[in-house]
Copies of this chain bind each other. A is one copy, B any other.
Amino acid sequence: MTSRARTPEAGGSGDGTGSRTGRTRRFDDSARKGDRRREQLLETAERLLETHAPGELTIERVAEAAGVSRSSLYFYFQGKWEIVDQLIERASQQMFERDRTLEATSDLPSYLRAIVTAAAEGWRQHRVVFLAATERSAHADETTDRWRSTMGRFADAIARRIDAEPDHAAAVAALGGSRAAAEIVCWMVERNLFMHFSRPHRRAETDQLVGALAVAALRIIGVADRA
């Protein structure tokens, strides 16, 4: 990587409002031209994902669809995958916010049920982005993988919630502890939702699957469900 005078955002994990290059920003911040363009490029990319598989999403196509030259795009992003990463970041952010409100929910069963539902809702809304995310996490090494770390955060949240109710300590111990159990549950949900949403699906089928996954999650954690 030859030292290069990159300017906007520096591609990091979305701080979004950080101090811009040590420069004071106008008060009524009518975003810089570059900010708007960056935004537009992301939107274009997401739109293109609706019709093209992530593998067919090329820098060239995004640039063309957005009406800029290919090289201009490199001013904003390191490459295709950085665009995808940012889309993932945005989409999962929404899920997290939903989760934060959920965490206060009454009992563990309701919480698990709610979180599975929220995950499915995320998939429904950002299907193409999540599909791309999954594809990406196959390539990427663990340290640079947004999707893995997103799931990790969910596992943390679930583990925390399990620990809050000591009743389940015994059941969860057989799985290697609350965190290990939470991780198993997370990937179970993720993989099954992926398989569901990567092919044609009807709403009723989605609901059916969500219900089943919630029950499965409960049983894994050791919560008796009355069907």
Question: Chain A residues in contact with chain B, CB under 8 A?
Answer: 53, 55, 134-135, 138-139, 142, 148, 170, 173-176, 180-181, 183-184, 187-188, 190-192, 195, 198-199, 208-209, 211-213, 215-216, 219-220, 222, 225, 227
A51 to chain B, nearest CB (A): 14
A184–B216 CB distance below 8 A: yes
Q: 13 A-B pairs, CB-CB below 8 angstroms?
A: A138-B138, A142-B199, A173-B227, A174-B212, A174-B227, A175-B212, A180-B212, A183-B192, A184-B213, A187-B191, A190-B191, A191-B191, A216-B220
Known: A176-B211, A184-B188. 14 other contacts (CB 8 A): A138-B138, A173-B227, A174-B212, A174-B215, A174-B227, A175-B216, A176-B208, A183-B192, A184-B212, A184-B213, A184-B216, A187-B195, A188-B192, A219-B222
